[in-house]
Amino acid sequence: MNMPTSGPRVLLKRLREVMAESLGAQDRLDKIVRHIAANMVAEVCSVYVLRSDGVLELFATEGLNPGSVHEASLKIGQGLVGTIASTARPLNLSDAQHHPAFAYLPETGEEIYNSFLGVPILRAGRPLGVLVVQNQAQRNYRDDEVEALETTAMVLAELIAAGQLEGLDKKGAGLDLSRPQRLEGVALADGIGLGYVVLHEPRVLVTNLFNENAEFETRRLHESLGKLRISIDDMLERPDVARDGEHREVLETYRMFANDRGWVRRMEEQIVNGLTAEAAVEKVQSDNRARMMRQSDPYLRERLHDFDDLAYRLLRELVGKPHGPLKEKSTRDYIVVARNMGAAELLDYNGPQLRGLVLEEGAPTSHVVIVARALGIPVVGQVQNVLSLADTDNAIIADGLDGEVYVRPTEEIQSAYSEKVRFRAKRQEIYDKLRDEPAVSKDGVAVNLLMNAGLLMDLPNLERSGAKGIGLFRTELQFMVASHMPRPNEQENLYSAVLEAAGSLPVTFRTLDIGGDKVLPYMRHEQEENPALGWRAVRLSLDRPGLLRPQIRALLKAAANRELRVMIPMVSETREITAVRKLINREVELLTRFGHSVPRRLAVGAMIEVPSLLFQLDELMQAVDFVSVGSNDLFQFMFASDRGNPRIAKRFDPMSRPFLRALRRIVDAAARFDTPLTLCGEIAGKPISALALLGIGFRSISMSAVYIGPVKAMLIETDIARLEQALLPELDKPSGGQTMREFLTDYAAQNGIPY
């Protein structure tokens, strides 16, 4: 009988033999790279080990110039190898030299190799090095080859962690976790948080890789799967979960996945190949992560993310440390650090000691970020490497204003930030005192200060902030944080709760604004070249009455016998308003016919977010009961400047003449037709830009609840008539001299207006 000479089982057997031989660490490493090269028919196999100073040093190679061992090196994040270490993800390239991250190391002689497959060497989630194979011919490595290399990387992690490799300093391999680190990311939710690191997924160290008895390991796997299923069922029984719709959905998805045959089979296969149960779980989990990275479909990405979380829970079952964060809450202030997490998972951590969230991924529209904003905690996202550099109980600062993170900050940094936090708290006390003061300017002009909301947890802020109503209720948030399409009764329940909380204060509900950057994971959608300009908001709603009609019905029922204000997002032409109005009227008719009560008064408004409306303002004002400027989108479209792209975030200024002139035209048109006007974009919440809005004639603005105080403090000190006199002539000046922002800050400073 011919014995196989390659494949995962043979490779594992070989590795096991090498680990059992009495060899020095370096010899073992050399032997392993030779075996891998032979097993995978690769011309090159190399191991790079991460030193404590963040440099990846070539420690062994088969195929590259032997003289480059211990000579060739790359910094973490640099070149393909450095990228793999910093992202903790594999790279599989058929034409490596043309990859944007490629960095040429002349001493290695690698210029003749085109194909490249590299995997991170991880121990408990932390990078210790990178394992690479290369071939001259252009080829894509198969999935089973990626798997074989990952398995080898697990073995190498043990070898490196044993600490016997020469040439590493006292601290051994891996990054130095005692030094202070300042990391840059993207500010996703306002505020500053100081505390200690809580890792969302505390590291689980799998040291026992090779099994002695596959049957025994398979049994262990199934026992733990059984316990996992029971623990999910238990959580579903918990009274708080039973109540909380958003959280429940996630757990139900987990329950479904915990019974997924394909997942279980892949783990069983790894055990048959020779791994222990925990190594098999970890192995399948890293395959999943690699697939997750390649997956551009947001729906499938979310599903793979759920699997990732579940695999992690299973791993904790196997090593006897069942999943903790739900129960174990820290007794001191903490900041949660994660690669990414679901919205419901963040709610598990909520409590007075939760001070911030730091993510390696995360975007302004991530569900978890939306929820964090509602909870009022700062979030810094896209912080590369933070999981490798931060450890449980390290001191950490999350600066959600500047998008910075300090891990193990120095005393100076800590005290500077503590001072900042104290200062902000003092200011907040002043704002709290203003809560019941009327929102009236120094010269007696009343201004309507409203708040933006979208989740149940926003509602207590209505009273806390002293807002005079909800100027923008983003109904899509309920859809975005759920794991399934909210049913009509769930929509109605939310709208009723909102109206009840608002009492006699007005609430403006915006119909679904999905599409573009607001993706529903459970709704199939086609990839679009320019999603922001694509099939979204009212365009999608009108094409899918099956979505809009139940929402309108839920709104009409929730607002029975009171006023209902409905606002349409992303209107481009007035006939879209007519179409929505028609649909609403038909629903009113139907409800009345079936004996339901309907709202006492109905107001239909449009958001001004698309520049085309600026050239049909007269028609628009006559077609609606009110308008509200969505300045975030209006600005993005007027300046052709993606609102979510940090590279251009500060390039153009909404406080510039062209944009303020456009807003002024809207104010004039609204006044001509006596159409109520509000503005509900981010600029309403910054005192300096709100000052500009007052100066050009806005008397109603809507913002996040936290900004009501600062804006009111500005308003009280402003003489609006004087401001108008000074500002309007400035608007007509050519650019080149003082910018509008400079003019406004000077004006505020000279007139004692806090901004």
| Smallest distance from ligand PEP to CB 202, Å | 36
Toward ligand PEP, which CB reaches closer, 231 or 636? 636
Identify whether the C-beta of residue 636 lies closer than 8 Å to the C-beta of residue 642.
Answer: yes
Whole-angstrom distance, CA of residue 496 vs CA of residue 503: 11
Toward ligand PEP, which CB reaches closer, 248 or 474? 474
Residue 492 binding: pick among Mg ion, ligand PEP, none (C-beta 5-8 Å cut-off by kind): none
**For the chain, how long is the longest CA-to-CA vector?**
98
**Which one of 211-219, 253-261, 351-359, 633-641 is the stretch in contact with Mg ion (CB under 5 A)?**
633-641
| Smallest distance from ligand PEP to CB 679, Å | 8
**Which one of 163-171, 295-303, 478-486, 604-612 is the stretch in contact with Mg ion (CB under 5 A)?**
604-612
Toward ligand PEP, which CB reaches closer, 92 or 508? 508
Identify whether the C-beta of residue 96 lies closer than 8 Å to the C-beta of residue 133.
Answer: no
Toward ligand PEP, which CB reaches closer, 85 or 520? 520
**CA distances to 29, 48, 133 from 162, in Å:** 12, 16, 24
Q: Looking up tokens 């007052």, which residue turns up?
A: 694
| Smallest distance from Mg ion to CB 354, Å | 29
**381 strand-pairing partners:** 186
476 binds Mg ion (CB under 5 A): no
| Smallest distance from ligand PEP to CB 212, Å | 58
Residue 114 binding: pick among ligand PEP, Mg ion, none (C-beta 5-8 Å cut-off by kind): none
Residue 309 binding: pick among Mg ion, ligand PEP, none (C-beta 5-8 Å cut-off by kind): none
Toward Mg ion, which CB reaches closer, 201 or 609? 609
| Smallest distance from ligand PEP to CB 681, Å | 3
- Give the end-to-end CA distance of the chain in Å, rounded to a whole number: 83
Strand segments (E) across 10-114: 44-50, 55-62, 73-75, 91-93
Residue 478 binding: pick among ligand PEP, Mg ion, none (C-beta 5-8 Å cut-off by kind): none
> What are the residues whose beta carbons fall under 8 Å from the beta carbon of 720, sequence distance 6 or more?
441, 442, 443, 445, 694, 695
> What are the residues whose beta carbons fall under 8 Å from the beta carbon of 42, sequence distance 6 or more?
36, 63, 133, 134, 135
| Smallest distance from ligand PEP to CB 632, Å | 3
> What are the residues whose beta carbons fall under 8 Å from the beta carbon of 676, sequence distance 6 or more?
605, 625, 626, 627, 670, 700
Q: Characterize the bridge pairing of strands 700-703 and 448-453.
A: parallel
90 binds Mg ion (CB under 5 A): no
Whole-angstrom distance, CA of residue 471 vs CA of residue 679: 8
Identify whether the C-beta of residue 122 lies closer than 8 Å to the C-beta of residue 157.
Answer: yes
**CA distances to 127, 187, 286, 337, 524 from 362, in Å:** 21, 10, 20, 12, 21
Q: What is the DSSP letter of 440?
A: B
> What are the residues whose beta carbons fall under 8 Å from the beta carbon of 742, sequence distance 6 or more?
none
Residue 704's closest CA among 400, 278, 290? 400
> What are the residues whose beta carbons fall under 8 Å from the beta carbon of 241, sequence distance 6 or more?
235, 247, 248, 251
Residue 681 binding: pick among Mg ion, ligand PEP, none (C-beta 5-8 Å cut-off by kind): ligand PEP
Whole-angstrom distance, CA of residue 224 vs CA of residue 271: 14
Toward ligand PEP, which CB reaches closer, 336 or 472? 472
List 630, 685, 695, 709, residue binding Mg ion (CB under 5 A): 630
| Smallest distance from ligand PEP to CB 467, Å | 15
Count of beta carbons in the 10 Å neighbourhood of residue 228: 23
**CA distances to 14, 38, 59 from 11, in Å:** 5, 10, 21
Toward ligand PEP, which CB reaches closer, 275 or 520? 520
| Smallest distance from ligand PEP to CB 654, Å | 10
* Dihedral sign of CA atoms 169, 170, 172, 178 in order: negative
Toward ligand PEP, which CB reaches closer, 387 or 567? 567
Toward ligand PEP, which CB reaches closer, 616 or 632? 632
Angle in degrees, CA 472, 475, 476, rounded to 5: 120
Count of beta carbons in the 10 Å neighbourhood of residue 505: 15
Residue 29 binding: pick among Mg ion, ligand PEP, none (C-beta 5-8 Å cut-off by kind): none
Toward ligand PEP, which CB reaches closer, 472 or 744? 472
633 binds Mg ion (CB under 5 A): yes
**CA distances to 69, 100, 101, 137, 452 from 112, in Å:** 18, 18, 17, 9, 58
| Smallest distance from ligand PEP to CB 559, Å | 21
Residue 680 binding: pick among ligand PEP, Mg ion, none (C-beta 5-8 Å cut-off by kind): ligand PEP
Residue 474 binding: pick among Mg ion, ligand PEP, none (C-beta 5-8 Å cut-off by kind): ligand PEP
Describe the strand order of the beta sheet including 186-189 as a list of residue ranges.
Answer: 181-184, 404-407, 395-399, 192-199, 334-338, 354-359, 379-381, 186-189
Residue 631 binding: pick among Mg ion, ligand PEP, none (C-beta 5-8 Å cut-off by kind): ligand PEP
| Smallest distance from ligand PEP to CB 516, Å | 8
| Smallest distance from Mg ion to CB 643, Å | 9
Name the amino acid, one letter, at 190.
Answer: D
Toward ligand PEP, which CB reaches closer, 145 or 633? 633
**198 strand-pairing partners:** 336
Residue 383 binding: pick among ligand PEP, Mg ion, none (C-beta 5-8 Å cut-off by kind): none
| Smallest distance from Mg ion to CB 373, Å | 16
| Smallest distance from ligand PEP to CB 532, Å | 10
Toward ligand PEP, which CB reaches closer, 472 or 663? 472
**Which one of 181-189, 383-391, 462-470, 630-638 is the stretch in contact with Mg ion (CB under 5 A)?**
630-638
Toward ligand PEP, which CB reaches closer, 93 or 706? 706
Toward ligand PEP, which CB reaches closer, 598 or 638? 638
| Smallest distance from Mg ion to CB 569, Å | 6
Q: Name all contacts of 69-72 with Cβ < 8 Å and 24+ positions apart.
A: 70/167, 71/107, 72/105, 72/107, 72/108
Q: Which stretches of the chain bind ligand PEP, using CB under 6 A?
A: 472, 474, 513, 609, 630-633, 680-681
Toward ligand PEP, which CB reaches closer, 45 or 187? 187
Residue 633 CB-density burial (10 A; 0-12 exposed, 13-18 middle, 19+ buried)? buried
Residue 57 binding: pick among Mg ion, ligand PEP, none (C-beta 5-8 Å cut-off by kind): none
Toward ligand PEP, which CB reaches closer, 345 or 476? 476
| Smallest distance from ligand PEP to CB 476, Å | 8
Q: What is the dihedral of CA 410, 415, 417, 419, to 10 degrees?
A: -170
Helix axes 277-294, 143-161, angle to 10 degrees: 120
* Dihedral sign of CA atoms 290, 296, 298, 303 in order: negative
Count of beta carbons in the 10 Å neighbourhood of residue 353: 16
Toward Mg ion, which CB reaches closer, 408 or 510? 510
| Smallest distance from Mg ion to CB 570, Å | 7
Count of beta carbons in the 10 Å neighbourhood of residue 427: 14
| Smallest distance from ligand PEP to CB 104, Å | 44
Q: Which residues bind Mg ion (CB under 5 A)?
A: 609, 630, 633
